[in-house]
Amino acid sequence: MTSDSTLHDAASRWIAADPDPATRAELEAVLARADSDLQAAEDLADRLAGPLEFGTAGLRGPVRAGPNGMNVAVVTRTTAGVAEWLKAHGHAGALVVVGRDARHGSEAFATAAAEVLTAAGFDVKVFPRPLPTPVLAFAVGRLGAVAGIQITASHNPPADNGYKLYDATGGQIVPPSDGEIERAIEAAPSAADVPRAPGAEVVDLLDRYLDEVATLPLGHERAVRVAATALHGVGAGTLQAAFERAGFTDLHLVGAQAAPDPDFPTVSFPNPEEPGATDLLLALASDVDADLAVALDPDADRCALGVRERDGRWRMLRGDETGVLLGSHVLSTVDRTVLPDPLVATTIVSSSMLGEIAKAEGARYAETLTGFKWLVRAGEELVFAYEEALGLCVNPGFVRDKDGIAAATLAAGLAAQLKAQGRTPLDVLDELAQRHGVHLTDQVSLRVTDLAVRGQLMAKVRATPPPRLGGVEVGLEDLLPGADVVRLTGDGVRVVVRPSGTEPKLKAYLQVVAPVTDALADAREAAQERLTALRADVEELLA
């Protein structure tokens, strides 16, 4: 354990090298209390436990002083490392775009990143205001930038912020880039010694992005009523503008969640997947008699859809339901004279139904590791990609990442077409199940305070895999060393276990598949019984 004197010295060195007077004072106050306050001593040790790890998801962490937090000093040294990495790959002086969301610290962090890059000789473009992450991803490709930086923590808790990096492909970085950048950060000077200079050019590409969204295959119908929420993030204005540009005029926003608010006062976790996060949205959808509900996460790269059940109640679709719904729709709109061999992709933890749909449509299908950094690299002629965690790319031609704004706009077009036919998204999901079998998915998510627990549980599963799950014999496939993932599969059963890459969780992804031989309701009931049994077994396995 680090000694008090070592902690004191480390804190003093960090304070001396921190260019931000606010975080210098913050850490000085913690240090002053640490000698007599156990809680302050533990806080100090945590802040100095080590630098935030730079991975393929960039950085994420609590906004606070110290190397183990998001602050101007950390962003400054990180960007110095990114600048050296870009130079090492022959991109000295090239164009880099910097964007931000509206979280605590985002404006200061974006300014620091832009000024470090400017001082390092790069041509830096910055956005005039907080904008969704997909607009940044779009700008990288449209402007021919060698990199893009978005300051965002996506759907993390309010205390967090983050730093997401795109490379010259317009997609998020992949190995070995993350390791190269991390080593460059380690070699960077102290933050106070990193040069910074103003002078970045302000650019606004929102109109060009909206023009592209309006070219999606939206159909001819526009009579659809949509209720939507931005969950206190930056998506409301862009969603509204996208709908107007595309001709959808009947949009109702959850007023209490429409304006950006970094404290996220109406939700515990600003993630559409979390229980309670979409309660206000579904209440609004019911009140206005909507045809579709849409929930964006705070940086608007994720999109969740809500529908009205046949008994009148509203519910959110699971990510896999939305994925196959929109994937099937996209494939039905592809012009085979332009794209004769289209590809759709999802991840190893998502529903396998998309593969069955692709087979029936004569399209190619790919499964990748989790994360859009892999999905957008799935292959040529990619027309659609999704992951079950509400990530949807319906527009890989102009955004090589998940895009909640584009997905919501496409979903509105589909809902309008179905409404004109007297049908709903649930009717399409029923038809897909009849044709390809009932695919039910679920997730067991174990949140941990000690990250070592995740490794211990993964080792346990590898060492003593269960012979049966959900009443079915299963075998184990270990994806090491390529990925810290294990797959347990049997007849109509699949479980994928992995540590989360962005949250302190161990996740198990469950799927059962049941053919429809008679009534769809009977097949769904049988599949649900097996899924319930499977979930119980997996919860016991990870206990």
Catalytic residues: 154
CA distance 61 to 82: 18
For residue 380 the two structure tokens come to 């040529």
CA distance 350 to 369: 10
- 122 contacts 83 by C-beta, under 8 angstroms: yes
Residue 535 CA, distance from chain mean position: 25
- 40 contacts 34 by C-beta, under 8 angstroms: yes
CA distance 411 to 224: 10
The DSSP call for residue 452 is: H
- Answer left, alpha or beta for residue 540, where phi above 0 means left and psi between -120 and 50 means alpha: alpha
Q: Which of 36, 184, 162, 170 is nearest to 110 (CA)?
A: 162
Q: Is the peptide bond before 176 cis (omega within 30 degrees of 0)?
A: yes
Q: Residue 77 is inside which H or E element, if any?
A: helix 72-88
**529-to-36, 174, 186, 507 alpha-carbon distances in Å:** 56, 39, 52, 21
CA distance 96 to 167: 9
CA distance 345 to 183: 32
- Answer left, alpha or beta for residue 232, where phi above 0 means left and psi between -120 and 50 means alpha: left
CA distance 292 to 278: 13
CA distance 167 to 376: 12
CA distance 469 to 495: 9
